Amino acid sequence: MSGAADRPEIPPEEVERVFRKLDEEAESAGYHLNPDTTFTLGLIEGMLVNERRYGYWACPCRLASGRKSEDLDIICPCDYRDADLSEYGACFCALYVSQDVKDGKRKARRIPERRPAEKASAAEEPAAEGPAQGGAAGPAENTPARSGSAPARAETPAGSAPAGAADLKYPVWRCKVCGYLCARDGPPEVCPICKAKKERFERFL
């Protein structure tokens, strides 16, 4: 198990730099980092700790196996982010939040683990401890248990794609404004191309 002693030191400048890059990329594609900057910097630091340990950005709020091939789905941004953003207004970590939550119009709710339990139980190594400040910062209701505790909250069957069209794994959504196509459980909050809102999408396939 990893204690504070063997936690790699991440230079604050590096955390800041990654924060700015992620923030820019998020905004340009219609995503938003948690506006609680202290909280967000803590999560990013956790990811960078994981990068040092495992060689990839394992989610700072989940147990990583340390084997990349098994952790692909929880490399940040994780495969579950967008579904959680749609349903709960935040990803599992609350690193990413929806526009409503960012604007304070909606409070992020406690987020059940969407990752299939089988996958989570394959993790043998503890993940980074998460934000340096422990679990205190950020939107409290939305902050999952951290600090090495296993996310044993697989309350939803989740992860599994909905039936979708005939033999498609996911339904395809079309932005009525610009024609952008994407395949996911539901349309994105905002079209990453033309910034039209979710309500402007239609089921295409």
86 versus 156: smaller Cβ distance to a second copy: 86
Nearest 10 degrees: CA dihedral of 44, 45, 48, 49? Answer: -140
Residue 82 CB, nearest approach to a second copy (Å): 6
71 versus 113: smaller Cβ distance to a second copy: 71
Cβ(113)–Cβ(92) below 8 Å: yes
39 versus 80: smaller Cβ distance to a second copy: 80
Closest CA to 93 of 107, 106, 104, 80: 80
Residue 52 CB, nearest approach to a second copy (Å): 17
Residue 27 CB, nearest approach to a second copy (Å): 10
Structure tokens at 193: 């191309």
Binding site for a second copy (CB under 8 A): 25, 28-29, 31, 72-73, 75, 77-79, 81-82, 168-170, 172-174, 176-184, 188, 192-197, 199-200, 202, 204-205
Residue 1 CB, nearest approach to a second copy (Å): 28
Phi-psi label, residue 104: left if phi above 0, alpha if psi -120 to 50, beta otherwise: left
35 versus 148: smaller Cβ distance to a second copy: 35
Q: Positive or negative, the Cα torsion across 134, 79, 69, 48? A: negative
Closest CA to 143 of 157, 155, 131: 131
